[in-house]
Amino acid sequence: MVKDICLNKNYIELWKDDLSSLEYGEKIRHISGEIGWQLTKPLCSLFMKYIEELNIKINIIAGPVISVEKNTRSNEVLNLAGKGLINLWISPFRQPNHYRIVGKRFIYRENYHKPMSKERCGKYIYDKYIVSKYIYDFDNLIKSLNLKSYKRKTVVAKKTNREINTLQRKLGENYDFLLTKQLSL
């Protein structure tokens, strides 16, 4: 079964719904572009709650550019990963396909969107075969790219939303093919 959905202000609420559906010990696997701080900041307290209460695991692949708040130059996901509370892998290039797998039960798959887009459209997929394929692909991406788990001292390109938008305008469609080595970290 597939359920289409368009998101804007409801994006965070749907994330909350997905988190509240978790069962003890389940994983969320999430592929993001820049881990937009404005999207994840309101979720971090829930991440902590479910990590502590339900022993859930949160695995995220993102990067090489990470969105940070202008004033603090921080992102709560980086903080949680630095403390070892979630698993974060920094990709050497932006992943254009964004999705999250909830347990082994369903996927939310976003349609392609430009970096830092405020409107996201996608679909929920409940087909067990497709879910298992996405789990395999997620795990294989970590292995095939030989990604290392993020630690506090990991060097990442922390950019404000304005800096990301400037970078995207400068590179145009090539932004999706930006490599870590092309960034001034």
- The predicted model scores a pTM of 0.90
Work out whether strand 120-125 and strand 2-7 pair parallel, antiparallel, or are unpaired: antiparallel
**Alpha-carbon distances of 90 from 37, 87, 153, 170, rounded to whole Å:** 15, 10, 13, 23
State pLDDT tens for residues 118-154. Answer: 777 889 999 999 999 999 999 999 999 999 889 877 7
- Tell me the CATH number at 100: 3.30.870.10
pLDDT of residue 52: 95
> How many Å apart are CA 94 and CA 98, to the nearest integer?
10
- The three-state secondary structure class of 5 is strand
> How many Å apart are CA 41 and CA 21, to the nearest integer?
20
State pLDDT tens for residues 26-78. Answer: 999 999 988 888 888 889 999 999 999 999 999 999 988 888 888 888 899 99
Q: How many CA atoms lie within 13 A of 141 on its CB side?
A: 23
How many domains would you assign to the chain? 1
pLDDT of residue 31: 95
> How many Å apart are CA 12 and CA 40, to the nearest integer?
8
pLDDT of residue 161: 84
Query: 24 versus 177: which is more confidently predicted?
Result: 24
CB within 8 Å of 172: residues ≥ 6 apart: none
**Residue-range definition of the domain harbouring residue 80:** 2-182
State pLDDT tens for residues 66-122. Answer: 888 888 888 999 999 999 999 999 988 888 889 999 999 999 998 887 777 777 788
